[in-house]
């Protein structure tokens, strides 16, 4: 496609006589009324043909941009001309608000269009903020920028409550999520304690990595059982979850269970005969383990008729993600921001910034995207959790051998031998 035009007109021509007489985006695209339901948005590429009666051999003819609200935020923000200058005044108190002033989205990553936009606007530093998917997106932008030989620094900033970004000590937002999860767990504990055989079940985020559930459990000490994606469990029979619940209720009269949203997904798929689906970013869409578990526990105890239970299910997931960050995360964020700017200003590129064993470093994207950070259940931290809750490990000796095989090597600092030649060609960790 070719584009030409002046400030009034923009003409795009394509194959088979396709002509798009384009216009500029409507500022209403940011209206919150449109941002809730995705279906309200029109596809960014939708056009309307001027002529609707055509012959097989007639050219495709003139088209106009389809009217309607467009999504932006996340990587889609690169395609928007509706940019905001981030002056110190604009960002002055954003750390006191939840969410994001930049907007966020899943999917919509088109590397060519993003780099075109960077090139057209003459941008020479790009800071990309987000989780594991975002860092993968930043990495391909960086590769394309290199391929085109542009002098543009690309820096990734690790922001996700899931803590699923490898190499770094933790991601920004994780501590806030663990802190806020305490409120959900406390509520579950209060409810469970108030009833005879009360069970409080809390679902926390953590699609593939159970860090929030694990740390929230360790912090609370009111949790009797913590279920995470990395540790398969089973319900029925000796050593299973139902047996443990019965035992704990007999001992204590109440109990609290914390489950990460990604826990037990294989069990759910088996039991619900569901087919795998993905979100727009390619992440597996998860079944609601909390609802499923609540139903299965209720069914089990009502079938057994030995014990009447009172189960309260709490899902605080979005309430946890939507809050402003806590003080320690604010300090961490300041360090990330400053380190990222220092790196880009020095001409480094292709890195995610973050602490490695307590020291902030620039980690090449290829290290960040090669795997996801997960709880290693053969590590001592998981053993600490097991000894704190005294829950069954649900592991057979075969599972332990398998888990050991999958275990990642401990995080290592890469060789630090940076020179000025490494500028715009970061291939190692720099401190």
Ligand X SMILES: O=P(O)(O)OC[C@H]1O[C@](O)(COP(=O)(O)O)[C@@H](O)[C@@H]1O
Ligand Y SMILES: Nc1ncnc2c1ncn2[C@@H]1O[C@H](COP(=O)(O)OP(=O)(O)O)[C@@H](O)[C@H]1O
Q: Does 133 bind Mg ion (CB under 5 A)?
A: yes
Is residue 162 annotated as a catalytic residue, yes or no?
yes
Neighbouring CB atoms inside 10 A of 90's CB total 11
Name which of 206 and 354 has its Cβ closer to ligand X: 206
205 binds ligand X (CB under 6 A): yes
Sheet bearing 47-49, strands edge to edge: 2-5, 10-13, 18-22, 61-65, 47-49
Least distance in angstroms from the C-beta of 177 to ligand Y:
13
**CA torsion through residues 338, 340, 341, 346, sign:** positive
Per the CB < 8 A criterion, the answer to whether 154 and 362 are in contact is no
| 256/263 with CB nearer ligand X | 263
In the complex, what is the shortest distance from the CB of residue 301 to ligand Y, in angstroms, rounded to a whole number? Answer: 38
Angle subtended by helix axes 211-220 and 380-389, to nearest 10: 50
Would you call 172 helix, strand, or coil by DSSP?
strand
The nearest distance, CB 332 to Mg ion, in angstroms, is: 19
Closest CA to 163 of 101, 207, 103, 98: 207
Q: Which stretch binds ligand X (CB under 6 A): 80-88, 159-167, 325-333, 362-370?
A: 159-167
User: Phi and psi at residue 160, in whole multiples of 5°?
Assistant: -165, 140
137 sits near ligand X (criterion: CB under 6 A): no
Q: Is 374 in the site for ligand X (CB under 6 A)?
A: no
Which residue, 205 or 356, has its beta carbon nearer to ligand X?
205
Using the rule CB under 6 A, is 170 a contact of ligand X? no
- Cβ distance to ligand Y smaller for residue 136 or 374: 136
Four-point Cα dihedral 25, 28, 29, 31, nearest 10: 170
CB of 340 to ligand Y, least distance (A): 16
Among 74, 77, 108, 131, binds ligand X (CB under 6 A): 131
What is the phi-psi region of residue 351: left when phi exceeds 0, alpha when psi lies from -120 to 50, beta otherwise? beta
Where on the chain is the footprint of ligand Y (CB under 6 A)? 74-75, 105-109, 130-134, 136-137, 140, 160, 281-283
**Residue 72: contacted member of ligand Y, Mg ion, ligand X, none (CB under 5 to 8 Å, by partner type):** none
């Amino acid at each position: 496609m070719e584009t030409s035009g002046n400030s009034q007109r923009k003409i795009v021509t394509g194959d088979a006589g396709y002509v798009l007489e384009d216009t500029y985006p409507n500022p209403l695209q940011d209206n919150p009324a449109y941002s809730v339901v995705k279906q309200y948005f029109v596809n960014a590429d939708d056009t309307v043909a001027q002529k609707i009666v055509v012959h097989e051999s007639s050219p495709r003819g003139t088209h106009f941009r389809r009217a309607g609200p467009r999504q932006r935020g996340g990587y889609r923000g690169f395609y928007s001309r509706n940019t905001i200058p981030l002056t110190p005044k604009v960002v002055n108190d954003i750390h006191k608000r939840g969410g994001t002033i930049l907007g966020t989205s899943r999917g919509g990553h088109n590397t060519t269009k993003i780099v075109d936009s960077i090139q057209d606007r003459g941008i020479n530093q790009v800071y990309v903020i987000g989780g594991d998917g975002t860092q993968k997106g930043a990495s391909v932008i960086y590769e394309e920028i290199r391929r085109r030989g542009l002098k543009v620094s690309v820096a990734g900033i690790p922001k996700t409550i899931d803590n699923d970004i490898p190499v770094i000590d933790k991601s920004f937002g994780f501590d806030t999520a663990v802190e806020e999860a305490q409120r959900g767990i406390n509520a579950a504990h209060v409810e469970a304690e108030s009833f005879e055989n009360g069970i409080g079940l809390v679902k926390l985020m953590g699609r593939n990595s159970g860090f929030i559930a694990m740390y929230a459990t360790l912090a609370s000490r009111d949790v009797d059982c913590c279920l995470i994606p990395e540790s398969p469990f089973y319900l029925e029979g000796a050593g299973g979850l139902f047996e443990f619940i019965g035992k704990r209720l007999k001992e204590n009269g109440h109990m609290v269970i914390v489950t990460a949203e990604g826990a037990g997904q294989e069990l759910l798929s088996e039991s619900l005969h569901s087919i795998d689906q993905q979100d727009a970013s390619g992440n597996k869409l998860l079944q609601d383990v909390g609802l499923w578990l609540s139903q299965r526990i209720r069914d089990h105890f009502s079938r057994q008729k030995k014990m009447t239970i009172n189960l309260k299910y709490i899902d605080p997931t979005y309430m946890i993600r939507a809050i402003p960050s806590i003080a320690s995360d604010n300090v961490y964020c300041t360090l990330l921001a400053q380190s990222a700017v220092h790196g880009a200003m020095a001409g480094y590129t292709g890195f995610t910034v973050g602490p490695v064993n307590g020291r902030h470093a620039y980690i090449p994207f290829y290290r960040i995207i090669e795997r996801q950070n997960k709880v290693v259940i053969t590590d001592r931290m998981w053993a600490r959790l097991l000894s704190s809750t005294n829950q069954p490990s649900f592991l057979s000796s075969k599972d332990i051998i398998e888990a050991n095989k999958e275990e990642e090597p401990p995080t290592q600092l890469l060789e630090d031998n940076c020179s000025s030649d490494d500028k715009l060609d970061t291939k190692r960790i720099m401190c």
